[in-house]
Amino acid sequence: MAFGGARMKVALITGANKGIGLEIARQLAVQGCTVLIGARDEQRGEDAARQLRAQGLDARFIQLDVTNMHTVEEAAREIEHRFGKLDILVNNAAIAQDTVPPSQLDLDVLRRTYDTNVFGVVAVTQVMLPLLHKSDAGRIVNMSSGLGSLTQTSNPDWGFAHVNLLAYNSSKTAINAITVQFATELRNTPIKVNAADPGYVATDLNQNRGHRTVEQGATTPVRLALLPADGPTAGYFNDDGPVPW
């Protein structure tokens, strides 16, 4: 299936072997995209791609560890060889390891969190940009969180203000800033860059305590991945619209 007569869209989703990432891949594939399941573990990645193919969807595993530049560069070379372009990049891979108040946080936890959640996003985006430039309508979606909003987390009356996780929250705030910086650089190109807040989704990241389903959590990132030419860039959105920075 093609979009508006255009060539088949190719979408790479990092951390896509489970949770929101897998559901984003599924929903994009339902819309006619070829989805590349980015995952560190070959077995889990292949199993996830096979699961989607069993539903009649075009899904392929691609090995990618966002903290390992060799795998990122190899993934880009493979995409270039097989497809010649990349239309959609969803930077979904993330970790959450905070278990103590900010004053007690081990700096190693902060470093590991930023290595995946921040540096990994920048690395993948930089390496994939030449392929996105070959698309007629490149889209970058960075998975953020409502916990990345300084406006919300600084408001004691906000429903999740008590979730005071220094490493995770600040990494998502950094993602919001990174989103704006890339969008500014790419503003005069067809590429649009936005951040998505999926809401409190039940995933392994939060021991499945979230009240939203992965289907609900994937709605906004999928919408941003398929934005029309007149869609927004440099934005931060959830299902209800813009999220305050």
Cα gap 112→27, rounded to integer Å: 30
Beta strands in the chain (DSSP E): 10-13, 34-39, 59-63, 88-91, 139-143, 192-196, 235-238, 241-242
- The two most distant CA atoms of the chain are separated, in Å, by 55
198-205, Cβ contacts within 8 angstroms, sequence gap of 24 or more: 198/20, 198/143, 198/145, 198/238, 199/146, 199/238, 199/239, 200/146, 200/160, 201/19, 201/20, 203/18, 203/19, 203/20, 204/18, 204/19, 205/19, 205/94, 205/95, 205/96
How much of the chain is helix, strand and coil, in % rounded to 5?
A: 45, 15, 40
Is 114 in the active site?
A: no
Cα gap 30→32, rounded to integer Å: 5
Active site residues: 168
